[in-house]
């Protein structure tokens, strides 16, 4: 069986071992490289006087090394594997095994004889083969589109952000359409929204540059897609625009909880109606986002009311930081005795956000409940101020600020919304046991 470098590195116990293995995957650092289609071996000269004896049973593969590393397989085993994959001619072909290799093979042979033979996997069906071929074609289109996007981004940086401000609608439409053709619908949507940043305030160049950086992070992440942990692969594909079918989610475990509706946002995107409903699981103390779409005059299958509580089983979409979910089964409505509490200081909230971004670098919206904070208006800018006089800015839409001030009367309140990384988009206000729409 032929192995790719990515497959070989996937056997490493962690990313650090994989990176260090690349450093030892050099022929000049090894002696007595030899083997055959069954097994390969070699001796690595480390910092000490004794060489490390490393061997790989290619039928497993299985690894062995005499180094004192606690990682298994160690960097020497992965490094030897990489040399075999890239420079197989460096190995002398022989069936004469050194004693330390033959002894290891005999031990492995006895173990393999004791283990029951595993049945051969069934041959893939025609439908499965067709699905795999379709996915490979789409993956090729997506990678080509990301190459085009990288060139476009680098051109924007070389020419300077000032040249963007004078561009017309077609400038953004062209690159967005190219992403649609490459089946990168998620990135196309982000590009179409970027013109809204122009002239929004004096800080628009910084915000535009941050958006460019996010897109560039997607490009770099996609080029290492196969080496990323599965949750991050799922997240990256979702950002690019690859959706998970709901019927495939039903096989995943569900989360049963008492859920409180704390945010509802409806709107239209590309002539498609959408509704974002934020739920808070009172027992597990975790958030869930129900994202639904409807066409034309069609209504949503379930009507949610702000402040409503009900028992339900939810299934989360696979993600490095799971938020989006679907309702598998909704049970009876319930009455909650008290509302949840949130972050009572800006520092605690920002620390939680930083941890979430460390788990998912492509996190777009972070659900946030800020509690016991005083609202204030400053030159039409809306803020929440904590007990340490630190503040977080809110998006002040139409009469949002005055509505918050009127309900609170200047007293500390709770505000739930979506944090964008720069400001909080308020969706509801929690005050004296009531939930108010914002």
Is the domain of 88 the same as that of 189? no
How many other CB atoms are there within 10 angstroms of residue 303's CB atom? 7
Give the range of the structural domain holding residue 51, as residue numbers without chain letter. 5-114
CA distance 386 to 348: 11
Is residue 196 in some structural domain?
A: yes
Is residue 168 in some structural domain?
A: yes
Is the domain of 359 the same as that of 322? no
Helix, strand, coil percentages, rounded to 5, for the chain: 40, 25, 35
Pair 391, 349: CB distance under 8 Å:
no
Is the domain of 326 the same as that of 367? no
Dihedral pair phi/psi, residue 431, rounded to 5°: -155, 125
Is the domain of 263 the same as that of 329? yes
Last residue of a domain, one of 225, 254, 273: 225
Tokens 């986002």: give the residue.
289
Last residue of a domain, one of 59, 83, 114: 114
- pLDDT of res. 373: 93
Is residue 66 in some structural domain?
A: yes
| Tens place of pLDDT per residue across the chain (438 aa) | 567 788 888 888 888 888 888 888 888 888 899 999 889 999 998 766 788 999 999 887 889 998 888 888 899 999 999 998 888 888 899 888 999 998 888 887 755 444 454 555 677 788 888 888 888 889 889 999 999 999 999 999 999 988 888 888 888 989 999 999 999 988 998 888 888 887 666 778 888 898 899 899 999 988 888 888 888 888 888 888 888 888 888 888 899 999 999 999 988 876 788 899 999 998 888 999 999 888 877 788 888 999 999 999 999 988 888 899 999 888 878 887 688 889 999 999 999 999 999 888 888 889 999 999 999 988 888 999 999 999 999 988 878 888 899 998 889 999 999 998 888 999 999 998 899 998
Is residue 288 in some structural domain?
A: yes
Q: Domain with 281 in it: what CATH number?
A: 2.40.50
Is the domain of 101 the same as that of 174? no
Last residue of a domain, one of 175, 193, 225: 225
Burial (CB count <10 Å: 0-12, 13-18, 19+), residue 343: buried
How many other CB atoms are there within 10 angstroms of residue 263's CB atom? 25
Pair 330, 288: CB distance under 8 Å:
no
- For residue 166, whether the previous peptide bond is cis, meaning omega lies within 30 degrees of 0, is no
CA distance 187 to 240: 6
Is the domain of 280 the same as that of 326? yes
Question: How far, CA to CA in Å, does 362 sit from each of 96, 105, 234, 357?
Answer: 53, 46, 11, 7
Is residue 126 in some structural domain?
A: no
- pLDDT of res. 337: 66
Q: Which two tokens stand for residue 16?
A: 């650090």
Is the domain of 356 the same as that of 400? yes
Is the domain of 106 the same as that of 139? no
- pLDDT of res. 45: 81
CA distance 45 to 395: 62
Is residue 234 in some structural domain?
A: no
Dihedral pair phi/psi, residue 69, rounded to 5°: -60, 145
Is residue 285 in some structural domain?
A: yes
- pLDDT of res. 114: 47
Is the domain of 321 the same as that of 357? no
Domain count, the chain: 4
Question: How far, CA to CA in Å, does 17 sit from each of 41, 99, 122, 192, 379?
Answer: 19, 28, 34, 41, 54
Is residue 216 in some structural domain?
A: yes
**What DSSP state is assigned to residue 201?**
S
CA distance 232 to 221: 9
Tokens 């998006």: give the residue.
395
């Amino acid at each position: 069986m032929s192995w790719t470098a990515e497959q070989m590195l996937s056997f490493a116990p962690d990313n650090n071992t994989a990176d260090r293995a690349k450093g030892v995957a050099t022929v000049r650092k090894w002696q007595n490289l030899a083997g055959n289609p069954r097994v390969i071996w070699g001796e690595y000269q480390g910092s000490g006087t004794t060489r490390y004896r490393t061997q790989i049973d290619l039928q497993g593969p299985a690894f062995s090394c005499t180094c004192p590393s606690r990682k298994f397989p160690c960097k020497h085993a992965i490094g030897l594997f990489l040399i075999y994959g890239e420079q197989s001619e460096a190995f002398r072909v022989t069936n004469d095994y050194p004693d330390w290799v033959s002894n290891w093979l005999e031990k492995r042979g006895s173990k393999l004889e004791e283990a029951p033979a595993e049945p051969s996997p069934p041959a893939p069906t025609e439908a499965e083969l067709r699905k795999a071929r379709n996915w490979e074609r789409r993956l090729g289109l997506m990678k080509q589109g990301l190459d085009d996007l990288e060139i476009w981004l680098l051109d924007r940086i070389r020419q300077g952000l000032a040249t963007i401000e004078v561009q017309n609608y077609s400038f953004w439409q062209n690159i967005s359409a190219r992403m649609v053709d490459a089946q990168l619908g998620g990135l196309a949507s982000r590009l179409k929204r970027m013109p809204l940043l122009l002239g929004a305030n004096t800080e628009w160049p910084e915000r535009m540059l941050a958006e460019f950086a996010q897109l560039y992070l997607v490009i770099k992440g996609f080029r290492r897609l196969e080496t990323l942990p599965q949750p991050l692969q799922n997240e990256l594909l979702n950002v690019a625009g690859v959706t998970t079918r709901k019927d495939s989610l039903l096989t995943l475990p569900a989360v049963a909880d008492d859920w409180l509706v704390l945010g509802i946002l409806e709107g239209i995107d590309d002539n498609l109606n959408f509704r974002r409903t934020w739920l808070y699981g009172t027992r597990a103390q975790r958030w869930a986002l129900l994202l639904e779409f409807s066409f034309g005059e069609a209504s949503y299958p379930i009507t949610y009311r702000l402040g409503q509580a009900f028992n339900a089983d939810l299934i989360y979409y696979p993600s490095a930081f799971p938020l989006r979910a679907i309702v598998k089964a909704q049970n009876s409505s319930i009455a909650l005795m008290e509302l949840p509490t949130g972050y009572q200081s800006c520092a605690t909230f920002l620390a939680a956000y930083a941890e979430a971004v460390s788990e998912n670098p492509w996190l777009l919206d972070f659900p946030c409940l800020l509690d016991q904070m005083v609202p204030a208006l400053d030159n039409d800018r809306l803020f929440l101020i904590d007990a340490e006089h630190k503040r977080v800015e809110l998006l002040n839409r139409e009469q949002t600020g005055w509505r918050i001030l009127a309900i609170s009367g200047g007293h500390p309140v709770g505000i739930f919304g979506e944090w964008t990384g720069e400001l909080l988009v308020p969706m509801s206000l929690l005050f004296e046991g009531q939930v108010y729409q914002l």
